[in-house]
Amino acid sequence: MIRRTTSAAALLAFLLAGCGGGSAVSDYGKVVKGSKGATVQVEVRAGQRFSLAVTDNPSVGDSWELVELPDAKVASFISEEHESQGEGPGSGRTAYFVFNGKQPGTTEIKLFDCWRCGQAGTPSTEESKQQSGEAIFAVTVVPR
């Protein structure tokens, strides 16, 4: 039981470290775009950096999150980054979930947009349930 708690604490610290204000990644690697309700095939080489990109607009209620870490033998999570798509308020942005291909294999990465969920993290209204959804990325890492 202690081992599981330690692992969960280490995972939480790792995820929080990747989301800090000073942790901007300058190289997104291969960028693959996804969207709610879609499954996208991703193929990368072992050792190759890649990013899963989704349109994000917190001003209207978007809140994308990584559902769970992928198989660490196949792909490792580096960070979550955001880039604005315009100058004005409410112009939206792109969220990039940055990974590194590890060993050859396959894994599935799910991102969830909990629309207007707030701190609860789950849709509380019928409209929120209808507007929320997953973007799925089927990742295959091939040898170098």
Cα(27)–Cα(25) distance, integer angstroms: 6
pLDDT above 80: residue 118? no
Residue ranges covered by each domain of the chain:
24-142
**How confident is the model at residue 63, as a pLDDT?**
87
Q: Report the candidate in 67, 80, 70 with the shortest Cα–Cα distance to residue 102.
A: 70
Backbone angles phi, psi at 97, to 5 degrees: -105, 110
The Cα 40–Cα 138 span in angstroms is 6
What CATH number labels 24-142? 2.60.40.2020
Whether the pLDDT of residue 135 is over 60: the answer is yes
Amino acid identity, position 84: S
Mean local confidence (pLDDT), 123-127: 90
pLDDT band at 121, cuts 50/70/90? Answer: confident
3-state secondary structure of 78: strand
Question: Do residues 48 and 67 touch, judged by C-beta distance below 8 A?
Answer: no
pLDDT above 80 for 8 = no
